[in-house]
């Protein structure tokens, strides 16, 4: 790989912001957006600061009163049209994702499908917002609870899922009556902006969804501005903790999803071929840049450990790494040169710490892509707790195998780790699986399923330092997060028989 910095293409398209229904640029500072497969700059993104964010907040505030009073069924109809447009433009969206992130097209398509499922959940808003009612809680007294929107809310999203994670947030927030400001990753912003344009095409009024590209100044403005009622975040744990403490200190409701170090336990009775096939996708899919990736395999027993390492080694020899836009590739590049250097550095650290590097992907060469940010799949054996490659979230195609003698020892490893996002077990033993799912200290658990990502009508969230806040993201928790309960108790004294009759059929037209 050529380590020199590629030249900036000054004629590259500049990606702006989406405010009050319009894509705008303000001649502010920009930074390059790369195609990680080629290492070349393909676009530039404008970075907005406080003034740009405040402009978006003003647009969202202006749109909120009318949007709040829009019947939920009308909001849901816009989401139905949005879903259809996402499906109709799937090829364009996936190409943009792969072009700027690097993941292979199959991964992009899977991301988009999961996003669409969250839009489908948002379409159920009329049912979800029905509230609760009790008649005659006292003499001629009725009481009910209803769920009212918060106002202007915000989301801050990472580079690894530029379409899915924003759609974890804004469809639910919007359909429940809020207006929304999104600060996506500046590393791969094009697909996010494309999706926003589709939502406008679906009929969303101007100002209901706004997008500002930016850095820390934009984030801090969202966290401190008194008009922002709630903030949802997905990213690394240090930033998640900062978002949570800063946002809550300024009176906001905050959910901040952080890092992960997900373990997969392989029991002696496991179907090894099935487990290895699943682990290859879980560890190396999307180049390992997933908070639900499996970077640690815990083999219970030396014999099963030897089998797993042998079969993983063989599978890695057959894995094709290349440009995600080309057919037949299993894994693409890392998202940026800086991230490539960081992940490669962890492989160097693992060797220094004494782990056995069984498969070394550091010097992979991809034909016709000498400047791409490619790192081949790496496999370590005999990794020990306390090593940095075990403890840290690497966020790349590096898989570590740890060996233990019992399920209890394996679970102790998981329970003692600072992260508690997800874990899984491969076994044929129902008792072992039941004990594991009941007692392991993580938020999402799989049995013979390596990526136990909940479907859209459940909620996604880890434990410990993988989640800051009381509510998980999307699904049922999304309504609890983006609304506040109001309980009304009402009594009307009798005034005699009413006169007049209305024969018209009630309508929300």
Catalytic machinery residues: 291
What distance in Å separates the CA atoms of residue 449 and residue 195, rounded to the nearest whole number? 30
What distance in Å separates the CA atoms of residue 333 and residue 71, rounded to the nearest whole number? 45
What distance in Å separates the CA atoms of residue 300 and residue 403, rounded to the nearest whole number? 6
Question: Which of the 8 DSSP states describes residue 321?
Answer: B
Phi then psi for residue 488, to 5 deg, are -120, 130
Tokens in use for 31? 């930074």
Measured from the Cβ of residue 78, the count of other Cβ atoms closer than 10 Å reads 22
What distance in Å separates the CA atoms of residue 412 and residue 415, rounded to the nearest whole number? 5
Closest CA to 167 of 239, 95, 86: 86
Residue 211's contacts (CB-CB under 8 Å, 6 or more residues apart) are 17, 18, 19, 56, 181, 182, 183, 184, 192, 193, 196
Closest CA to 396 of 438, 328, 434, 349: 349
Question: Which of the 8 DSSP states describes residue 492?
Answer: -
Tokens in use for 156? 């801050």
Tokens in use for 165? 């994670």
**426 DSSP β-pair partners:** 266
CB–CB of 252/228 below 8 Å? yes
What distance in Å separates the CA atoms of residue 314 and residue 316, rounded to the nearest whole number? 5
What distance in Å separates the CA atoms of residue 243 and residue 170, rounded to the nearest whole number? 18
What distance in Å separates the CA atoms of residue 397 and residue 316, rounded to the nearest whole number? 11
CB–CB of 150/228 below 8 Å? no
Query: Helix and strand tally (H, E) in the chain?
Result: 16, 23
**483 DSSP β-pair partners:** 149
Residue 420's contacts (CB-CB under 8 Å, 6 or more residues apart) are 414, 441, 442, 443, 462, 463, 464, 465, 466
């Amino acid at each position: 790989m050529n380590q020199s910095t590629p030249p900036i293409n000054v004629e590259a398209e500049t990606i702006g912001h989406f405010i009050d229904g319009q894509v705008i640029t303000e001649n502010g500072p920009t930074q390059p957006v790369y195609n990680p497969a080629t290492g070349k700059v393909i676009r530039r993104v404008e970075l907005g600061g406080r003034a740009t964010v405040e402009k978006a907040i003003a647009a969202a505030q202006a749109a909120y009163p009318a949007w709040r009073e829009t019947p939920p069924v009308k909001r849901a109809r816009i989401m139905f049209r949005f879903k259809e447009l996402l499906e109709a433009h799937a090829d364009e969206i996936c190409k943009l994702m792969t072009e700027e992130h690097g993941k292979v097209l199959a991964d992009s398509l899977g991301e988009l499908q999961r996003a669409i499922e969250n839009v489908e959940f948002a379409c159920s808003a009329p049912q979800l917002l029905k509230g609760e009612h009790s008649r005659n809680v006292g003499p001629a007294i009725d009481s009910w609870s209803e769920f009212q929107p918060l106002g202007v809310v915000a989301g801050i999203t990472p580079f690894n899922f530029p379409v899915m994670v924003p759609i974890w947030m804004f469809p639910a927030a919007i359909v429940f009556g809020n207006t929304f400001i999104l600060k996506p990753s500046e590393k791969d912003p094009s697909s996010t902006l494309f999706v926003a344009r589709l939502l406008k095409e679906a009929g969303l009024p101007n100002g209901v969804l706004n997008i500002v590209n930016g850095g820390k100044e934009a984030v801090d403005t969202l966290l401190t501005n008194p008009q922002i009622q709630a903030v949802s975040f997905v990213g690394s744990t240090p930033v998640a903790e900062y978002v949570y403490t800063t946002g809550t200190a300024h009176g906001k409701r905050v959910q901040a999803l952080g890092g992960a170090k997900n373990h997969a336990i392989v029991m002696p009775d496991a179907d090894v071929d099935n487990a290895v096939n699943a682990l290859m996708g879980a560890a190396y899919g999307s180049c390992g840049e997933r908070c639900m990736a499996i970077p640690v395999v815990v083999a219970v027993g030396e014999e099963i450990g030897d089998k797993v390492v042998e079969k993983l080694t063989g599978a890695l020899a057959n894995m094709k790494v290349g440009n995600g836009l080309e057919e037949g590739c299993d894994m693409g590049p890392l998202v940026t040169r800086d991230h490539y250097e960081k992940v490669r550095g962890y492989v160097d650290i693992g060797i220094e710490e004494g782990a056995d590097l069984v498969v070394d992907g550091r010097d992979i060469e991809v034909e016709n892509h000498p400047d791409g940010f490619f790192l081949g799949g790496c496999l370590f054996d005999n990794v020990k707790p306390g090593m940095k490659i075990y403890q840290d979230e690497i966020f790349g195609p590096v898989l570590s195998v740890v060996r233990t003698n019992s399920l209890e020892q394996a679970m102790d490893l998981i329970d003692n780790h600072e992260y508690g996002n997800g874990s899984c077990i491969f076994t044929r033993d129902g008792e072992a699986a039941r004990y594991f799912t009941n007692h392991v200290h993580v938020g999402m658990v799989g049995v013979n399923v390596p990526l136990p990502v909940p479907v859209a009508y459940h909620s996604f969230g880890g434990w410990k330092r993988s989640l800051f806040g009381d509510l998980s993201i999307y699904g049922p928790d999304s309504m609890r997060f983006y609304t506040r309960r109001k309980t009304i108790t009402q009594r009307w004294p009798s005034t005699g028989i009413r006169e007049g009759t209305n024969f018209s059929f009630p309508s929300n037209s």
